[in-house]
Amino acid sequence: MARVVVDVMLKPEILDPQGQAVANALPRLDVTDVTSVRIGRRIELEFSGDADLDRVREIADKLLANPVIEDFTIHADEQVKA
Amino acid sequence: MTMRIGVVTFPGSLDDGDAARAVRLAGAEAVRLWHADPDLHGVDAVVLPGGFSYGDYLRCGAIARFSPAMESIIDAANGGLPVLGICNGFQILCEAHLLPGALTRNQHLHFRNRDQWLKVESTSTAWTGTFTDGQEILIPVKNGEGCYVADQRTLDALEAEGRVVARYIRGNPNGSQRDIAAITNERGNVVGIMPHPEHAVEALTGPSLDGLGLFASVLAHLAGKSAAVPA
């Protein structure tokens, strides 16, 4: 079994209102030195056998992320693989 | 001959019944289509209604875009079939790459539900031919993820090619870039609109009858096309 993690983030130029709302709440915790908050999505895919990262890239590009507004990164989860 | 306009139901569709009723009020036959059925049953045009389709679990419209009906609609739209996507339907059209850009969370994070003034900016689409350029119309808007975004190059191209179909006026309900409420593809047969024309078709239930104009437009468009073809 292999696990692959896909992290999806809004592109830097796309406004992230969710992140902004969180950033605006931080001063209530007396946090004043955080200059930016961006919120993304972590997706874990578990394969029955080995994971083909090229296929994962295709899945991410077609379905998990919208390349118009989002970037994604892929990494194999070593802990589970071991 | 009565025109037949398909209305697709996705799991979670909310406004399919209203869209079908609007089609009937405009004088066409409404043909209910199921998202899992790739057969479009020979309809003359298609409406993707609003609601909260199951694609929203990932991103609005992301999973709905892969429905069997959508595969057929993408092919047909590329062949010139008039397709109108309302609200969630607009999101699905963007996810299907039939329209550029994307719809994201409202800038203020609040769901917006109100009657909204729009300015019609293009009357050369299949769905807006019976309006006049610059006509102001009042139709309801109700969305949580209606903020239209695209890169500057795409926005400039949309403007230059006259593909911004309608803009919000007297207030922008969701932070859409350049106040964009509706856009079209290069050919003008596919239109995505965030507010809900199907909710402005009867005095009893809507703030105006302005929404009927979109459905009347596609009927005029189809009639013009059939008249142009020698019998």
Q: Does A14 touch chain B (CB under 8 A)?
A: yes
For the ranges B32-36, B105-109, B117-121, B159-163, the lowest mean pLDDT is seen at B105-109
* Whether B175 contacts chain A with CB within 8 A: yes
**How confident is the model over B121-134, as a mean pLDDT?**
98
Closest-CA distance, A9 to chain B, in angstroms, reads 12
Question: B66 to chain A: which residues are within 8 Å by CB?
Answer: 63
- Spatial separation of the C-alpha atoms in residues B76 and B98, rounded to whole Å: 11
pLDDT of A82 reads 43
CB contact under 8 A, B102 and A64: no
pLDDT number for residue B132:
98
In the three-class reduction of DSSP (H, G, I as helix; E, B as strand; rest coil), residue A30 is classed as coil
- Tell me which of B87, B145, B147, B221 is the catalytic residue: B87
Active site residue B198: yes
Q: With 90 as the cut, is the pLDDT of residue B53 above it?
A: no
Other Cβ atoms less than 10 A from the Cβ of B203: the count is: 9
Main-chain phi, psi angles of B49, to 5 degrees? -80, 170
Per-residue b or e along B73-100, where b marks 16 or more CB atoms closer than 10 Å to that residue's CB: bbebbeeebbbbbbbbbbbbbbbbebbb
Categorize the per-residue pLDDT at B54 as very low, low, confident or very high, splitting at 50, 70 and 90. Answer: confident
Catalytic residue of the set B121, B198, B199, B221:
B198
Which positions in chain A touch B101 (Cβ < 8 Å)? 68
Q: What size, in residues, is chain A?
A: 82
pLDDT digits (tens, 9 = 90+) for B195-228: 999 999 999 999 999 999 999 999 999 999 877 6
In chain B, the percentage of residues whose pLDDT exceeds 90 is 92
pLDDT at A81: 46
Q: What is the ipTM of this complex?
A: 0.84
Q: Is the pLDDT of residue B70 over 90?
A: yes
Is the pLDDT score of B231 beyond 60?
A: no
Q: What is the pTM of this model?
A: 0.93
Chain A residues within an 8 Å CB radius of B94: 68
Q: Which residues of chain A have pLDDT under 70?
A: 78-82
Would residue B202 show up in a list of annotated catalytic residues for this protein?
A: no
What's chain A's average pLDDT? 92
Supply the mean pLDDT for chain B: 95
Is A64 close to B58, i.e. CB distance below 8 A?
yes
Query: Does B66 reach chain A within 8 Å, measured CB to CB?
Result: yes
Report the chain A residue with the minimal C-alpha distance to residue B91. A66
How far apart (Å, rounded) are the C-alpha atoms in residues B231 and B224?
A: 13
B94 is catalytic: no
B80-94: per-residue pLDDT in tens? 999 999 999 999 999
Residue of A nearest to B96 (CA): A62
The string of pLDDT tens digits covering residues B181-202 is 999 999 999 999 999 999 999 9
Task: Express as a percent the part of chain B with pLDDT over 70.
Answer: 98
B107 at A interface, C-beta within 8 A: yes
E strand segments, A11-76: 41-47, 70-76
